[in-house]
């Protein structure tokens, strides 16, 4: 029972893939974009999150989908080149979208910890908006966001590994290269969007 | 209800771990015995779970989608499992040659 619970948390694609994962991931990303539009954070890179002036819902959706498409397309190309198995494009596209669901916790956390002082301090290059209590809560926010990011990367890798039946150094190496390239690509496109 | 342990076909020698072969076949009806040295067919060399998978796969007319529903797993997980069995059977076939 415990094993199944951890599988759902760290390898949900064992049970869910294809269109089901795509629909679940799509709904999840709309919720993430909606919550992000209420806070001061934006996801302007495959692995990036920044505190800045609030954006409208449509721009948040665009940012999240640029991040998703950048990585998914690169992983699709890498998988097509390396996999010897029979794969389905819908599996990598669907599971990659669902792999981003930990962002939901990031946006919820950003709503709980009011990040406006950081935004103001960044704008005016003046730390006077930041007090000791805020510093502590912001440090906790940073630590939790690192954990959430690592969790998301694990899910992204599992999605790639299971969709193309790739394991070992070859899978890890190609995944890291794609992740770095996707970060550069998404950053470049998103800079033009906002 | 008492739990009946199903007999499992041993595939490897308990002493040296080498692959076992068939030496004797017996007719349960008339006790006729046939003796010789026969290799196990590749499918019989798969473990119980793999044999069950192959059976269900055939029964579902080779539909991975139906298999995924039956096993409660995702399509790529089932396909990867099938890949493992294919690779194992290919190795067994090569060893036979």
Instruction: Tell me the pLDDT tens digit for each residue of A67-105.
Output: 999 999 999 999 999 999 999 999 999 999 999 999 999
In the block, tokens 């015995």 appear at B33
Asked if residue A57 has pLDDT above 70, the reply is: yes
Q: Which residues of chain B neighbour A165 with C-beta distances below 8 Å?
A: 76, 79-80, 83
Q: Which residues of chain B neighbour A160 with C-beta distances below 8 Å?
A: none
Q: Least CB-CB distance to A165: which of B73, B74, B83?
A: B83
pLDDT: is A116 or A185 the higher one? A185
Please state, in angstroms and as integers, the Cα–Cα distance from residue B67 to each residue in B7, B72, B83, following that order. 26, 8, 14
| Tally of residues, chain B | 97
pLDDT at position B40 is 84
User: How would you classify the pairing of strands B22-26 and A48-51?
Assistant: unpaired
Measured between CA atoms, the residue of chain A closest to residue B76 is A163
| Whether the predicted model's global pTM rises above the 0.90 cut | no
Q: Per-residue pLDDT for chain B (97 aa), expressed as one digit of tens each? A: 555 667 778 888 999 998 888 999 999 999 999 999 988 888 888 888 999 999 999 999 999 999 999 999 999 999 999 999 999 999 988 877 7
Q: Which residues of chain A neighbour B80 with C-beta distances below 8 Å?
A: 85, 162, 165
Instruction: Tell me the pLDDT tens digit for each residue of A111-161.
Output: 888 777 776 666 666 666 667 777 888 888 889 999 999 999 999 999 999
Instruction: Tell me the pLDDT tens digit for each residue of A18-48.
Output: 999 999 999 999 999 999 999 888 999 999 8
Q: Distance between CA A33 and CA A143 in Å, rounded?
A: 22
Asked if residue A1 has pLDDT above 70, the reply is: no
Contacts of A169-177 with CB under 8 Å at 24 or more apart are A170/A82, A171/A82, A174/A78, A174/A82, A175/A75, A175/A78, A177/A78
Q: Hey, is the C-beta of A87 within 8 angstroms of any chain B C-beta?
A: yes
Looking at every residue in chain A, the average pLDDT score rounds to 90
pLDDT at position A157 is 97
Q: What is the ipTM of this complex?
A: 0.84
Residue B19's CB: how many other CB atoms inside 10 A? 12
Contacts of B8-15 with CB under 8 Å at 24 or more apart are B8/B48, B9/B44, B11/B40, B11/B45, B11/B47
Size of interface A-B (CB pairs under 8 A): 37
| Tally of residues, chain A | 194
CB spacing of B72 vs A165 below 8 angstroms: no
pLDDT at position A7 is 87
Instruction: Tell me the pLDDT tens digit for each residue of A96-109.
Output: 999 999 999 999 98
pLDDT at position A113 is 82
pLDDT at position A4 is 79
Q: Hey, is the C-beta of A167 within 8 angstroms of any chain B C-beta?
A: no
């Amino acid at each position: 029972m415990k094993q199944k619970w951890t599988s759902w948390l760290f390898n949900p694609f064992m049970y869910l893939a294809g269109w089901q994962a795509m629909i679940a991931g799509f709904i999840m990303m709309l919720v993430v974009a909606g919550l992000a539009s209420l806070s001061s954070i934006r996801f302007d890179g495959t692995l990036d999150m920044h505190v800045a002036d609030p954006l409208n819902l449509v721009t948040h959706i665009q940012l999240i989908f640029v991040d998703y498409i950048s990585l998914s397309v690169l992983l699709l190309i890498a998988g097509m080149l390396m996999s010897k198995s029979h794969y389905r494009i819908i599996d990598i596209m669907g599971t990659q979208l669902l792999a981003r669901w930990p962002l939901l916790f990031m946006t919820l956390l950003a709503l709980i910890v009011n990040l406006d002082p950081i935004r103001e301090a960044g704008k005016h290059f003046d730390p006077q908006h930041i007090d000791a209590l805020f510093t502590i809560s912001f440090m906790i926010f940073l630590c939790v966001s690192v954990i959430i990011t690592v969790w998301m990367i694990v899910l992204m890798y599992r999605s790639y590994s299971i969709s193309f039946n790739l394991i070992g150094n070859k899978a890890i190496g190609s995944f890291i290269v794609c992740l770095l390239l996707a970060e550069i690509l998404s950053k470049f496109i998103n800079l033009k969007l906002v | 209800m008492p739990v009946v342990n199903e007999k499992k076909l041993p595939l490897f020698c308990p002493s040296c771990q080498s692959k076992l072969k068939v030496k004797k076949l017996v007719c349960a009806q008339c006790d006729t015995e046939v003796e010789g040295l026969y290799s196990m067919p590749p499918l019989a060399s798969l473990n119980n779970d793999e044999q069950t998978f192959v059976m269900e796969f055939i029964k579902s007319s080779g539909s991975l989608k139906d298999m995924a529903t039956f096993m409660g797993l995702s399509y790529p997980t089932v396909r990867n499992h099938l890949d493992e069995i294919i690779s194992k059977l290919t190795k067994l076939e090569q060893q036979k040659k």
